[in-house]
Structure 1
Amino acid sequence: MTGQDRTGQDRTGQDRTGQDRTGQTGQDRTEDRGQRTEDRGQRTEDRGQDRGQDSPRLVTLVGTYIAYGGTSGFLHLCNQPRYGQRHVQNMPVATGEETGVGAFDALCDNLNSPAFESAVGASDDDINFLSNLMNSTVLQSLIQVHETLQDSNLEPVSCTNVELIHDIVKDIDAAPSIPGTNELRDILTEPNFRALLEAHDDIASKNYDAIPDVFPMFAPPPPQEMLNPKVSDAIRMVGIRKNADEPLGITVRKESKPDEDGEHLVIARILTGSMIDRQGLLQVGDIIKEINGHEVQDPDQLQEIMKRCSGSVTLKVLPSFYDPSAFSQVYLKAHFNFDPRRDNLIPCREAGLRFKAGDILQVVNMDDPNWWQARKVDDNGPSGLIPSQTLEEKRKAFVKPEYDYTHKSLLCGLVTKKKRKMMYQSRKNAEFDRTDLLIYEEVARMPPFQRKSLVLIGAQGVGRRSLKQRLIKADPSRFGSVIPHTSRPMRPNEVDGIDYHFMDPDDMNQEILENRFLEYGAFDDNYYGTKFESIRKVIQSGRMCVLDINPQALKAIKTSEFMPFVVFVTAPPGDIMRNMHEYAFQRGLTDKIRTEKDFIATKEESRQIGRNYKHYFDLTIVNDNMDATYNKLRQAIETLSTEPQWVPVSWVY
């Protein structure tokens, strides 16, 4: 038996071009084998119809060749005692040293040898079928393609890209600042990019388990009756114990079956924690036929009968064999108020769950696309129905604000119906962020930990800057603030890095374009802003970075990198605000003169911030007394280290 070696040339001198050293081509060899099978071919012509039926088997075997990993797996398959509908014993195979074209040539040579038929005792049909298969153009082409792909050995350019990137970053840090290098450094040090390079290096260096050459044979498929069992309708009698003042905790609907006349009363949902859910005797999809011997066909009739029942209740049920889903671990923070008694779309108002903005909800069932089942966290009450994200988004998108009871407007006379067109600009994205439909936010419960930054949000003149300075002065080793950057020239007696970080106007404008500033603004043709890098330096020093920023910057700062604790300092009533200002003015704490118009503007701005950005707030404090507000703020910060916190799920995963 001949065999092909790894050089691509077999032991008889034949190379992979199909031509051996004696000048005989692969086509001539095929003709020789065809000549030796001429006698059997004559007998096969008499079975033309039978041979025509072999085409599906040829397609099947070609697919099997692909499925079993090419030549080695297919030869392993050919050695099995049974294949398809043919019994072939002692089928000739190549040795383990031969693969690819050489292995198939060896099989074909043995198959067409004169002594083969008597040696193996196979029938003419089996030998003829196998000969046609081995010499078919389709299978020979398939083997050639497989060999070509198997021989193509792609080599990686480098297996040490991680070290290369590390050297590049060191060169960037050592080189003078060039436009674009800082952005390149951020890309190269980004965790996801580094993970991609590590994966590439592992694959290039083949740091993984080897793939087996021969795949195991698959077990035969199970009988058809096991795949599609017939379930007969089995009536069950279910006995439950009902309290007079306790509802069942189910909702039902009328449904018709295609193969039956009339309609049935089907259980649409079972409220988690209800009496039926605790007993576990009914499932969603069960058909209720009778209650205490009385036939029921519609929800009103069911409700009327259940009102009269107490104690032991017997239901005749046609089970649905419904497999309930696993208990959900999805927690949501609500950003709107919901009162089921005032909702016209809820299927059952008594089954609704009332909640307000800021409540944490555990969703226990999301099968219904419009109504989820949820319970309030840290509340022992039963679960109830809440509107799904999709339903509430549709409702908020099409309901006018004056008809939406969940968002009552306090700005009477300030809203105009006049519309105007505007193009989206990234610099003005805060205008569009205020129109986001914020329904739920997925959150996760975290053990006590200290936040990296403290963000104070409030209207102009509400006192947030005074709170910031008081915090830092009271404990400078724990709290710190950033030094802003500016493009204006340095004034006398100013120190760079103490009063401001002074920058060249062109450099600052370039860094603004590169999104290196959390916020920035222009005053007297000069830029002022807060850089992300300045915040990082304060955090890296082990202190909590205290920021008093504009609310438009909340979207950029509320990330897992900065983990802010956002406190909204809201304005008190006008008379209290006036008294606080007079008290501070008399004691020299402020030299600003504020009018009644200023107090009204502060109150109005505070309302707008609270309405547009409330979903970012972790705490809201009414600053009606500076000392009391400071104490509340310090107490809230201390609580972070002692009590679990609900944070956005993106901070955890």
Structure 2
Amino acid sequence: MEAEVKKLKLNADNLAVCLHSLLKRIEQLEGSAGHDKSNGTASDINISPSKSIDEALGALLAEETESAVNGPKSDVKIICNETVSIDPDTGLKKRTKVTERILTTKTFHAIAVNDGETHDCNYISFSTNEPRFITLKSNPFNDIRYHRQDGAFFITEVKPASSYAKDLHCGDAVVEINGQPSYTIRNLNSLHGELKLKVVSIPIHQAPSIFYRAIFDYDPNNDSYIPQKWSGLALKKGEVIQVMSQDDKWMQARKVNSVDKVGLVPINFASERVAMLTPYGRRVLILLGAPGVGRRTLKSMLLSYMPQYFATVTPLTSRAPKPKEEEGREYYFRTKAEILNKIRAGEMVEWGELDNQLYGTSADTIRDCIRGGRMCVLDCAPQALRYLYNKEFMPFVVVISPPDLTDQWQINKAKPNPRTEEQLQMTIEENKLLLSSEYAKMFHLILPNRNIDITFRRLIDALNQLKSEIQWVPEVWLSR
């Protein structure tokens, strides 16, 4: 009995709170109605507090529903549900009324607004990462200059007066022709009829490393000598351009922060020749280590992880190219006499002979990589430090060291082609010789490689520290 009385009292208290809130709302509505009458906009609903709760609630809902339907700016919808149930214990009837206010979605219509003068655009800018698909009625490769690299055709010059100048630009790479990959097409001049090209803008580091910073603004619309106004490249003071090609009067260039649009800039415009510097403060990353420690794997991971910051070089060889090999991709193919002349002239960082053919790395290929604004990654022999450890190349030297024999053995068992215990022991001995050699004073970091992923992460962390911490280098590197 006491529990039932307590429950009824609780219901009465809740009802009193609801009634108080309802009466307060009714008074607000009555005050609003009186205010509307004084302004000549009478309300048809006048609710008295003496009316029953159901009548008051019904009047309130009717007023809000009418406001929702007829109001010019209302976005409120009222839904009312009423249920009657019988308490199985007491037999009392319970009447429940649920009121919901739902905000409906407004629909807005665009209104045409005159935003000023419109301009004709003779070109379309595309995102660097998105290809362009171009259909040409005839073969353009007889009227433009290009070179083949990495399985694509890189356009190096397009004459402004050419009929293809609006579709093809310097710095474009043609990756597909009529649905076929470019590397499968050997003779471009033999193509006839309509051609469908898939074109992308090549990254900055794959284009010529010639950069200028504008000292003053340049507006091609004010240049009376430019062949076509639309072909010019407007510049603001301080903007940096990359020159794709040039002649006696004009440069075909693009902005480094917007590589999709290539235009003409006069050869004598006020500018300063500049170079791009890697953010790591060093120009070459040298990975040393005994055979089998994983330095080539780390090099490949680094080049794939951040190709915009790291690059490597293409070696030279005196052997003939194999089928599907391309100049500058797998090797630079030179005669044996040419490579020997480079060795005598001191232009080779390292070299060797295999099957009576010469292989090696040229210093010029490293310089080209550096001029492209990227850190050159080399996995070379320690003897190459004699050539590279100077202020021109400013290397960061990392030694990849093997773990002890027990750890090596555990790692080796998981490999598809495990090495013998003698080979593992030889790796450890060669590492000891390297760490005690005359080159040890040039080492900046030693990374034991127990897990390739962890070692790679530690290498990235060490490189990031070069960007944020003070570096100590030989004083001679900073002297003139």
Q: TM-score, normalised by structure 1?
A: 0.30
More helix by share: 1
More strand by share: 2
Which of structures 1 and 2 has the larger relative contact order (alpha carbons within 8 angstroms, sep 6+)? 2
Q: TM-score, normalised by structure 2?
A: 0.41
